[in-house]
Each structure stands twice: as structure tokens, then as C-alpha cells.
């Protein structure tokens, strides 16, 4: 039996496995279009709000016009009590409201500090943040105008008053995600997880399909001709890992090339740097998937086991919630999944412009996981192969 024969057998096993092909090519390509679709607009805009204007003065109507001019909010309702506004909020007709209290204009003239009330549906934190940002921006502008007017009335120069109405000037600039968009924030990390999960399922289906319990009930003549029982374990693992690595390098390039370009997502890393991290990431997932396939009794369980792990892996990777605020035991466990260091590594490399030289620890972790899971896969596969060969000889 030659290397050429082994490669052709492995190639045939991969490309005739329909569930595997649907998972690998269908899953990766469909998700590349489906997942970013809801976030194309980057941030929620034009959120419907209501206004309760109890002052009904010229200044209070100016506040309404200024709030309505911001891109964040759109005043769609005029109501006359907080109860009416709360009912609209609960029914979902609006996402927030602004209350202008009675005697607002009079209190300003008396140099008191009247309070405006903002409310938003904080169950949707992005929507809430958008509504509050729009209202704060418009009312802050009005507050600055009032302050400058008072300084001018006291005899200050208008140019000086315009530049010195606040003791501290702010220059806020978001770093790495300049648009503050959801697409740039979530999609690069989720794409890495999609590659991780689909590759795990593919290796689980392929390996479990060859070594699952019901294989023992197959005719002996069929088992004797199975290439994965004839060839040494290390050769089967080597050829399988290289074939799957080749397939996933193409899919990896599709995600980090075409998909990122078409969605306008940052691409700060060079191709050699990306490949330096992609090789240990994909190899570690391939061997972990092989281990999963050798441990489960039926191939159907591969999809179920991997899908159940998806949400915990997303929320423990550190890009949604800080790892410093998670239990230590969860942080330790997730470090054994290649997705955790890979997501952090690719985000630092491609989205934050970090140098590959600063990611040595992540590279070492991924190569260590590759070695660990390759050894476990080799031991488990040797054991399974030995059991089946002894069964063939004894029959």
C-alpha cells in the first residue's frame, strides 16, 4: 500500500461524505453571507422616541428640533404623561422618551439647573446607547449655547466665550473600531469560531463514521479492506490532517480575504503573519476534532456536541465580556480550546495591527495544543485499530 493509495482513499472518504461536505462548504459559505447580514448598517440609527413636553416654551421646542436632527433618534410621538410614554415603550412602539419638565425655560432664566429626563429600553443595550447618545448630544449642545449666552450677557467677548465655556475640552477618538460598528466588532471573531466549529464537526463525522460502535457489526471482509485499519495510525493522521488543512486554508483565505474586503472590515495583518497563526490554529482543531470523533459512540453526536459548545466558547473568548470578570476555572478550561487563543490572536493581529512577534505566547499555546491533541488522537486511534484488528483475526 503506497502513499498515493492512502491519499486517494482519504480523498475519496472526505469528498463522498455528504454531511461532511455540507458542513464544511455549505456551512462556511452560507454563514459568510448570512451572519453579517443583520449588521450591515453597523449601528442602530433613527430610533423612534416620544417627547413629553410639559413646558411648551420656545426653548423646549428647540430641544425637540435639535434632538430630532440627530441621526440617532426620530421623534414619532407627542404624549402628555410618563404613563402614556411607558405604555408605548412596553408595547414596542418607541425605544425611549424625553421628558421636558414644567417651568424648564423659567428655571433657566433664573439660572437654576432644571433636569431633563431620558429613558430608553436598556434590554437592548445597543438601542439604549443610541437613544441616550442622541439625546445627550442634542441637549449638551443646547446647554453650551445657554452658557455662552450668559457669558456674553455678562460682557464677555463672544469668541472667547465660545471657546472657554467649558473648563475642559474633550477630543474623543475610538481606537481600532473607528465606526463603533457592530460589524467590525463581532464578525472577525465569529468567523474564526465558524471555522473552528465546522472543522471540528467535519473531523468528528469522518473519524466517528470509521470507528463508531456499529462498525463492529459490519462484514469481516469489508473491515479487512478498510484502509484506515491497514495503514499505520501516524500515516492516516498525517494524510488526513494535510488534506483538511489544505481545504481549510482555502476557506480561511476566503473569510480573511474576500469576505473582509466585501464588508469593509479592517485588514491590518500581512498574509505571511496570518498564515503563521492559521497553521497551528487549524492543525490543533483538526486533531481535537479527531479526538472528539474517536470518543463519541455514534457519528451523529459530533454535530450535537460541537453545537452545544458554541455559545460557551463565544462568551468566554473575551471579546464580548472581559475575561478578568469571569471565574478563573472557566478561563483555564477555555484555554484548551483552540478558538480562545486564536480569536484573541487574530483580533490583535488583523484588527488592532499588533506585530506577530508580540503573539509568540499565543503561537506557542496553539502549537502545544496541536502536539497534545495529536498525541491523544494517535493513542486513541491505535487502541481502536487494535481492537478491530483483533476482532478480525479472532473471527
Does residue 188 share a domain with residue 147?
A: no
Q: Say if 174 falls within a structural domain.
A: no
Enter the C-alpha cell of residue 393.
483475526
Instruction: Assess contact for 72 and 96: CB atoms under 8 A.
Output: no
pLDDT at 1: 62
CATH number, domain at 134? 3.40.1710.10
Write phi, then psi, for 57 (nearest 5 degrees).
Answer: -105, 175
Exposed (0-12), middle (13-18) or buried (19+): which is 134, by Cβ within 10 Å? buried
User: Whose CA is closest to 307, among 380, 211, 207, 205?
Assistant: 205
Does residue 267 share a domain with residue 326?
A: yes
pLDDT at 394: 77
Does residue 52 share a domain with residue 34?
A: no
Does residue 367 share a domain with residue 328?
A: yes
Q: Say if 28 falls within a structural domain.
A: yes
Does residue 354 share a domain with residue 292?
A: yes
Does residue 240 share a domain with residue 358?
A: yes
Does residue 366 share a domain with residue 239?
A: yes
Sequence-distant (≥ 6) Cβ neighbours of residue 85 within 8 angstroms: 50, 52, 77, 79, 94, 97, 99, 119
Does residue 72 share a domain with residue 216?
A: no
Residue that the C-alpha cell 467590525 belongs to: 184
Q: Say if 171 falls within a structural domain.
A: no
Determine the structural domain holding residue 89 and report its residue range. Answer: 47-165
User: Whose CA is closest to 146, among 118, 171, 114?
Assistant: 114
Q: Say if 175 falls within a structural domain.
A: no
Low-confidence ranges of the chain (pLDDT < 70): 1, 165, 167, 213-217, 221-222
Q: What is the tens place of the pLDDT at every residue in 262-278?
A: 988 888 899 999 999 99
Residue 164 CB coordination number (10 Å):
13
Q: d(Cα 394, Cα 177) in Å, to the nearest integer? A: 64
Domain stops at, among 114, 139, 165? 165
Q: Say if 383 falls within a structural domain.
A: yes
Per DSSP, 55 falls in state S
Q: Say if 318 falls within a structural domain.
A: yes
Query: Side-chain half-sphere of 166: how many Cα atoms within 13 Å?
Result: 8
Q: d(Cα 192, Cα 207) in Å, to the nearest integer? A: 23
Count of the separate structural domains present in the chain: 2
Does residue 35 share a domain with residue 52?
A: no
Does residue 267 share a domain with residue 250?
A: yes
pLDDT at 25: 92
Domain stops at, among 101, 134, 165? 165
Q: Is 78 helix (H, G, I), strand (E, B) or coil?
A: strand
Domain stops at, among 131, 165, 199? 165
Q: What is the pTM of this model?
A: 0.84
Does residue 270 share a domain with residue 244?
A: yes
pLDDT at 238: 95
Instruction: Assess contact for 200 and 285: CB atoms under 8 A.
Output: yes
Does residue 132 share a domain with residue 21?
A: no
In residues, how long is the chain? 395
Enter the C-alpha cell of residue 248.
481549510
Q: Say if 230 falls within a structural domain.
A: yes
Amino acid at each position: 500500500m503506497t502513499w498515493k493509495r492512502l491519499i486517494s482513499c482519504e480523498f475519496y472518504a472526505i469528498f463522498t461524505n455528504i454531511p461532511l461536505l455540507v458542513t464544511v462548504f455549505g456551512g462556511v459559505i452560507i454563514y459568510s453571507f448570512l451572519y453579517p447580514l443583520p449588521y450591515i448598517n453597523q449601528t442602530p440609527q433613527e430610533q423612534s422616541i416620544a417627547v413629553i413636553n410639559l413646558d411648551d416654551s420656545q426653548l423646549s421646542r428647540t430641544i425637540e428640533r435639535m434632538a430630532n436632527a440627530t441621526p440617532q433618534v426620530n421623534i414619532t410621538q407627542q404624549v402628555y404623561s410618563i404613563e402614556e410614554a411607558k405604555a408605548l415603550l412596553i408595547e414596542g412602539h418607541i425605544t425611549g422618551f424625553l421628558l421636558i419638565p414644567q417651568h424648564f425655560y423659567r428655571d433657566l432664566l433664573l439660572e437654576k439647573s432644571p433636569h431633563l429626563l431620558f429613558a430608553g429600553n436598556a434590554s437592548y443595550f445597543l438601542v439604549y446607547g443610541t437613544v441616550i447618545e442622541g439625546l445627550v448630544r442634542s441637549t449638551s449642545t443646547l446647554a453650551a449655547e445657554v452658557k455662552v449666552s450668559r457669558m456674553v450677557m455678562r460682557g464677555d467677548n463672544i469668541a472667547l466665550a465660545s471657546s472657554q465655556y467649558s473648563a475642559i475640552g474633550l477630543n474623543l477618538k475610538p481606537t481600532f473600531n473607528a465606526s463603533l460598528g457592530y460589524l467590525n466588532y463581532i464578525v472577525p471573531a465569529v468567523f474564526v469560531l465558524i471555522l473552528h466549529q465546522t472543522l471540528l464537526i467535519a473531523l468528528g463525522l469522518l473519524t466517528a463514521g470509521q470507528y463508531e460502535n456499529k462498525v463492529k457489526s459490519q462484514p469481516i471482509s469489508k473491515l479487512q479492506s478498510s484502509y484506515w485499519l491497514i495503514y499505520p495510525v501516524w500515516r492516516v493522521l498525517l494524510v488526513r490532517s494535510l488534506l483538511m488543512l489544505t481545504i481549510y486554508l482555502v476557506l480561511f483565505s476566503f473569510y480573511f480575504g474576500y469576505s473582509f474586503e466585501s464588508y469593509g472590515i479592517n485588514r491590518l495583518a500581512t498574509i505571511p503573519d496570518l498564515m503563521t497563526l492559521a497553521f497551528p490554529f487549524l492543525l490543533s482543531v483538526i486533531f481535537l476534532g479527531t479526538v472528539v470523533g474517536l470518543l463519541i459512540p455514534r457519528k451523529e453526536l459530533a454535530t450535537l456536541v460541537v453545537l452545544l459548545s458554541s455559545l460557551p466558547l463565544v462568551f468566554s473568548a473575551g471579546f464580548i465580556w472581559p475575561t478578568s470578570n469571569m471565574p478563573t476555572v472557566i478561563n483555564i478550561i477555555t484555554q484548551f480550546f483552540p478558538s480562545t487563543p486564536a480569536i484573541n490572536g487574530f483580533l490583535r493581529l488583523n484588527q488592532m495591527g499588533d506585530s506577530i512577534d508580540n503573539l509568540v505566547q499565543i503561537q506557542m499555546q496553539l502549537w502545544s495544543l496541536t502536539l497534545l491533541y495529536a498525541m491523544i488522537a494517535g493513542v486513541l486511534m491505535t487502541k481502536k485499530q487494535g481492537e478491530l484488528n483483533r476482532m478480525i483475526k479472532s473471527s
